[in-house]
Structure 1
Amino acid sequence: MSEPQKAAAPTSALDRYFKISERGSSIAAEFRGGLAAFFAMSYIVVLNPLVIGLGKDASERTLGIAPVAAVTALVAGVMTILMGVIAKQPFAMAAGLGVNALLASTIATTPNLTWADIMGLVVLAGLIMTVLVLTGFRTAVFEAVPESLKTAIVVGIGFFISFIGLVDSGIIRRMPDAAGTTVPVSLGAGGHLLGWPTLVFLFGLFFTIALFIRNVKGAILWGVLASTALSLILEAVVPSGSVKEAATGWSLNVPSLADMKFTTPNFSLIGSADLFGAFTHIGPLAASLLVFTILLSVFFDAMGVSVGLAAEAGTMKDGKVEDIDKVLLVDAFGSVVGGGASGSANQIFVESATGIGAGARTGFANIVTGVLFLLAIFISPLVTIVPFEAVAPALVVVGFLMIRQAVNIDWTDWGLGIPAFLTIIFMPLSYSIANGIGAGFVAYTFIRLVQGRGKDVHWLMYLVSAVFVIYFGMGIINGWTS
Structure 2
Amino acid sequence: MSSLRTVNQQDVEPKNKLDKFFKISQRGSTLGAELRGGLATFLAMSYIIVLNPLVLSGPDGSGGQLGISAVAASTALIAALITVLMGLWANHPFALAAGLGVNALLAITIATTPELTWPEAMGLVVLAGLVMVVLVLTGFRTAVFRAVPDPIKTGIVVGIGLFITLIGLVNSGFVRRLPDEAGTTVPLGLGIGGELTGWPVLVFVVGLLLTAILVARKVPGAILIGIVVSTVFANIVEAVFNIGPSVDEAGNVNPEGWSLVAPSMPGWSAPDLSLLGEFSFGAFSSIGAIAASLLVFAILLSVFFDAMGTSVGLAREAGNVDQVGNIPNLHRVLLVDAVGVSAGGAGSASSTQIFVESGTGIGEGARTGLASVVTGVLFLAAMFLTPLIYLVPFEAVAPALVVVGFMMVSQVTQIDWNDVGAAIPAFLTFALMPFTYSIVNGIGAGLVAYAVIRTGQGRFREVHPLLWVVAIAFVFYFGMGVFEDLLGL
- TM bucket, shorter chain: over 0.9
SS at match of 1:316: coil
Query: Residues of 2 paired with 1:368 and 1:150: CA distance?
Result: 28
Post-superposition offset of 1:8 = 4.2
Letter in 1 for 2:218: N
Letter in 2 for 1:15: D
Residue 466 of structure 1 is aligned with which of 458, 469, 472?
Answer: 472
Provide TM-score, normalisation by structure 2. 0.96
Equivalent position of 1:33 in the other structure: 37
Query: For 1:138-180, what per-residue CA distance to the aligned partner results, in whole angstroms no more than 9, with x for missing partners?
Result: 0000110111111011001110011111011111111124477
Post-superposition offset of 1:111 = 2.5
Change (3 A) 1:417 1:262: same
Q: Which runs of 5+ in 1 are unaligned?
A: none
| Pairing 1:255–2:266 present | no
CA RMSD after TM alignment = 1.4
Post-superposition offset of 1:104 = 0.3
Provide TM-score, normalisation by structure 1. 0.97
Residue 404 of structure 1 is aligned with which of 410, 415, 420?
Answer: 410
Equivalent position of 1:319 in the other structure: 325
Equivalent position of 1:129 in the other structure: 132
| Pairing 1:440–2:440 present | no
Equivalent position of 2:310 in the other structure: 305
Q: Which range moves more in the overlay, 229-238 or 98-107?
A: 229-238
Equivalent position of 1:46 in the other structure: 50
Equivalent position of 2:300 in the other structure: 295
Equivalent position of 1:236 in the other structure: 239
Query: Residues of 1 paired with 2:399 and 2:363: CA distance?
Result: 12
Change (3 A) 1:5 1:455: closer
Post-superposition offset of 1:5 = 8.3
Residue 280 of structure 1 is aligned with which of 280, 285, 288?
Answer: 285
Post-superposition offset of 1:57 = 1.3
Equivalent position of 1:57 in the other structure: 60
| Residues 62 and 114 in structure 2, CA contact (< 8 A), matched pair in contact too | no
Post-superposition offset of 1:415 = 1.2
SS at match of 1:250: coil
Post-superposition offset of 1:354 = 0.3
Equivalent position of 1:266 in the other structure: 272
Change (3 A) 1:323 1:5: closer
- Give matches, 1:20-419, under 5 Å: 20-53=24-57, 55-178=58-181, 183-244=186-247, 245-256=253-264, 258=265, 260-274=266-280, 276-317=281-322, 318-419=324-425
| Residues 121 and 291 in structure 1, CA contact (< 8 A), matched pair in contact too | yes
Query: For 1:325-359, what per-residue CA distance to the aligned partner results, in whole angstroms no more than 9, with x for missing partners?
Result: 00000000001111011110100000000010011
Query: For 1:26-66, what per-residue CA distance to the aligned partner results, in whole angstroms no more than 9, with x for missing partners?
Result: 1111000000000001000000000001x111101111101
Letter in 2 for 1:40: A
Query: Residues of 1 paired with 2:179 and 2:229: CA distance?
Result: 33
Post-superposition offset of 1:2 = 6.1
| Residues 305 and 349 in structure 1, CA contact (< 8 A), matched pair in contact too | yes
| Residues 195 and 240 in structure 1, CA contact (< 8 A), matched pair in contact too | no
Change (3 A) 1:100 1:180: closer
Post-superposition offset of 1:181 = 9.0
Post-superposition offset of 1:24 = 1.0
Aligned residues: 478
Change (3 A) 1:56 1:295: same
